[in-house]
Amino acid sequence: MTTILFNKPFNVLSQFTDKGSEGAPRQTLSDYIDLPGIYPAGRLDRDSEGLLVLTDDGELQAKIANPRHKLPKTYWVQVERIPDDAALQTLRDGVNLKDGVTRPAQARRIVEPKMLWLRDPPVRFRKSVPDCWIELTIREGKNRQVRRMTAAVGHPTLRLIRYAVGGWTLEGLGSGKWRHV
């Protein structure tokens, strides 16, 4: 059994081929990983960064990707403005989205993580609009869920990094790097 942790950079597809590109080819996992027979267990959107688990173990893939297993996934989210306690409590209680109410989450303000890498391109800085980092742990995976949750409480996401999947984290793993577990 092979399982690796990969720190997916911004603007990289969570797949090994680019089937939908009509213009210039987009970066995929194959630009970083050359191991046969492994596949992502879950996805990260192209505009999201961070931890992606890849494996050749179908049971492990199902455990990670299927929401019925309720495996926690922790995100570091840079948002516009500073969320007050009421906004954080709404994230904790569950946010009403178009496809239903999210499961309760853990949410707290954090200082900017020290292990952050530079993003290319960088997040647009606006002098007139402060930003803040929050840590959000969810146990489901609706499409673009974290971005929709923060927008619903009035704090659009500027940068989204998945820090942990279950007990695995990004600790010691630079952007675009991977390691066996």
For residue 40, give the nearest of 81, 50, 125, 95 by alpha carbon.
50
Q: Compute and round to an integer the Cα radius of gyration of the chain.
A: 16
> Look-up: residue for tokens 């577990």?
181
Contact 10, 47 (CB under 8 A): yes
Active site residues: 45
Residue 158 identity (one-letter amino acid)? L
Angle, CA 90 vertex, CA 137 and CA 79 arms, to 5°:
65
Q: What DSSP state is assigned to residue 27?
A: B
Among candidates 112, 111, 169, which has minimal Cα distance to 137? 169
Q: Of the candidates 103, 107, 98, which has an alpha carbon nearest to the alpha carbon of residue 69?
A: 103
